[in-house]
Amino acid sequence: MRLRAHRKSPHSRPQPLTLEQLEDRTLLSGNLLITAEVPGTYHYNLMQYTPQGALVSSLPILQAPGAMENEDARGLSVDPSGNVNVFDGTLTPSLATLNTASQTWSFQTASGWGTSGNITYGNVVAYKGFIFASNMQQFNGQSYGVVRFNSSGDPPVLFAPGASFIQIALGQDGLLYGLEGTGSGPAISQTVQVFNPDSLALVRTVTLHSAQPIDIRSIAVDASGNILAASWGGIVAEYDPHGNATGESILLKAPYGYAENLISIALDTDGQVAVGGRGGEIYLTDESLTNVQMIQTGQWNVFVTFDHYIGTAPQIVTPSFSNLAGPTITYGQSSVTLGGTISAGTTYPPGSVNITLAGVTESASINPNDGTFSAVFNTSTLGVSGSPYTITYSYPGQDNYAAITDSSKSLTVNQAVTTLSNLSSPTIVVGTPKVALSGTVDSNSPALPTGQSITVTLFGANGPLASSSGIIDSNGHFSATLSTDALPVGSYTIQYSYAGDANFKGSSSTGTLQVTYAVNTLFDTSKPVHEGATLPIRLQVANAAGNNLSSADLTVTAIAIVGPNGQTYTPQAKGNANPDNVFRNVGLGYLYNLDTSGLAPGTYTLMVKIDDDPVLHAISFVVD
């Protein structure tokens, strides 16, 4: 990161910086950033130094518009976007943010946020999309030790109720540490509260113990939870995660040999340490607290950090998928829901899972309460020939959750099962030129084989006689026309057959075509006959064209009489002209002398069979 230099007149140019090498040590990579007061003024600069002590740039820290107090820049922090955030002010401070790309400042504030006037109090730390600031103010009768600002623009959040922190630190262990002051002066213990920066929950409280009175003003924490503490008396000491002094410590002195008042400390991810002093010094060392290098800035009240984001790199957790859907559907099913669960132990990653099926990707939001996710896919166009279709579940990773991908599941599309219904089984009169045979194709899915054909074949005793086909419409209906003019009287099997295709299973079924004679009565069927009288029943056999087919070669037989109430009688012929109830061929037709004896008044039906005609013909008559 490079800050543009603030040009000053030659007369106000700072004196050459001096670099005091106390001991040889490995220098840091990158540069250092400080906020510092121009001696004897209320003006503060954001300055950048090389580890060797060369001034790279100096930029005035602007005061927030409408600020109610003199500017008083304190702690600073570089966020993951590379922007610099400064605690600027005392009782009514502002979070001043420098966008290093545009070199512009922006400002935020919060009700109930402030700090006491001690120059060592007040700093900010960056974590993910948040900036945390120490707090010593009361709000609505309650103190809150930390204010959290959100880069997304959400309102600031006050938390750590009951606490009053002089400074805070983000540990390399991923936790937020709040340092409480000693009150009236040096003491042999000092309290640190530890929070989860994501949930804001209190994790533990640590008491820093010392054999001698201490007055710690700033802390930094390594990945193991060890605490480095910089005190007003010039001592940097290390404490273990339980607050016990490890014995590692160093006294940092000002150029004139006396102990420097230390006001800030920063720990880089590579273990390097930078300490800022009231007199304008920057001290460079590492966690061993040896090989110290001092940079004199010529400023006052130095808060120091590194020129890059030093927030902990969160421990990467690799989540896993479970209960992933890999369904089997029927061709034509309009949609399917795909999903599952993603978790990492007892936690659930934020964000969404991308689900890809047949080249289409849908984003499925993760339920923060149980880790479930799902998305609906259109499957109406997925054919059987491409089955099975690979389903890819992909989590892109977010925060400290690693990216994962699972392509073990697939979607299987089965053929739709078809059935035939409403099939024609007609009866026609011999000589009918043609007949339309129809039906419906159904399936066990919303889809139908529209546009495909049904084959309709007519079978006689010796095999197929005629065949045709019909196209299936959008409702599943079809119709096929067969020629029937040459069919003799009889019964024929109709076979309806759908061959199927890749997406639909074939199906078949049968019907019956009956070819019969036409019977024309040659007497007045509505004229009553007296009970016991003889009723001459005259009829004629014809074809579809009305041509008379009556002849001695066609046997016409009276089979049964059906009474008004459905009762049946055996027909009786009067005299000997109709032996075995066979009609006598006379002239251009047939005659049967029906004996009506024993028939009560009412309407009757005489059932007549003509030779090998499969259909019985009904002739009505009335008895009074």
> Is residue 238 scored above 60 in pLDDT?
yes
* pTM passes above 0.85: no
Q: Report d(CA 532, CA 423) in Å as an integer.
A: 46
pLDDT of 404 = 97
Domain 418-516 has CATH 3.40.50.1000: no
Average pLDDT over residues 77-95: 94
Q: Report d(CA 176, CA 193) in Å as an integer.
A: 8
The ranges assigned to domains in the chain are: 20-306, 320-414, 418-516, 518-623
Amino acid of residue 394:
S
pLDDT of 311 = 78
Average pLDDT over residues 40-59: 94
DSSP string, 330-353: ETT--EEEEEEEEEBTTB--SSEE
> Is residue 444 scored above 90 in pLDDT?
yes
Average pLDDT over residues 104-112: 95
> Is residue 16 scored above 50 in pLDDT?
no
> Is residue 10 scored above 50 in pLDDT?
no
Q: Could you tell me the CA-to-CA distances from 514 to 160, 540, 612 in Å, in that order?
A: 93, 20, 11
Top-tier CATH class for 20-306: mainly beta
Q: Report d(CA 331, CA 416) in Å as an integer.
A: 5
The rounded mean pLDDT for the chain is 92
User: Regarding beta strands 281-286 and 272-277, do their DSSP bridges make them parallel or antiparallel, or are they unpaired?
Assistant: antiparallel
> Is residue 11 scored above 60 in pLDDT?
no
CATH number given to 320-414: 2.60.40.10
Label residue 19 by pLDDT band (50, 70, 90): very low
Q: Report d(CA 273, CA 263) in Å as an integer.
A: 14
Average pLDDT over residues 400-426: 96
Average pLDDT over residues 7-27: 34
pLDDT of 398 = 86
Whether 320-414 shares its CATH topology with 418-516 is answered yes
- With CA atoms as reference, report the closest residue to 418 among 327, 342, 509: 509
Where do the DSSP E strands lie in 549-601?
556-562, 568-569, 584-586, 589-595
pLDDT of 18 = 31
- The angle at the Cα of 166, spanning 165 to 170, to the nearest 5 degrees, equals 75
pLDDT of 312 = 66
Q: Report d(CA 443, CA 476) in Å as an integer.
A: 9
Q: Report d(CA 226, CA 232) in Å as an integer.
A: 20
pLDDT of 17 = 30
In the structure encoding, which two tokens stand for residue 346, read together? 């007892």
Q: Report d(CA 81, CA 390) in Å as an integer.
A: 38
Pick the CATH number of 518-623 from 1.10.3680.10, 2.60.40.10, 1.10.260.40, 2.60.120.10: 2.60.40.10
pLDDT tens sequence across 472-516: 999 999 999 999 999 999 999 999 999 999 999 999 999 999 999
pLDDT of 5 = 40
Q: Report d(CA 401, CA 579) in Å as an integer.
A: 102
> Is residue 2 scored above 90 in pLDDT?
no
pLDDT of 435 = 97
Q: Report d(CA 337, CA 382) in Å as an integer.
A: 14
> Is residue 26 scored above 60 in pLDDT?
no
pLDDT tens sequence across 121-130: 999 999 988 9
Rg (CA), the chain: 51
Average pLDDT over residues 170-192: 91
pLDDT tens sequence across 582-592: 999 998 999 99
- Most confident range (mean pLDDT) of 2-11, 70-79, 206-215, 382-391 is 382-391
Q: Report d(CA 55, CA 308) in Å as an integer.
A: 17
Task: State the distance between the two ends of the chain, measured CA to CA, in whole angstroms.
Answer: 120
Question: What percentage of residues in the chain have a pLDDT greater than 70?
Answer: 95
User: Regarding beta strands 507-516 and 427-429, do their DSSP bridges make them parallel or antiparallel, or are they unpaired?
Assistant: parallel
Which residues on adjacent β-strands are paired with residue 101?
none
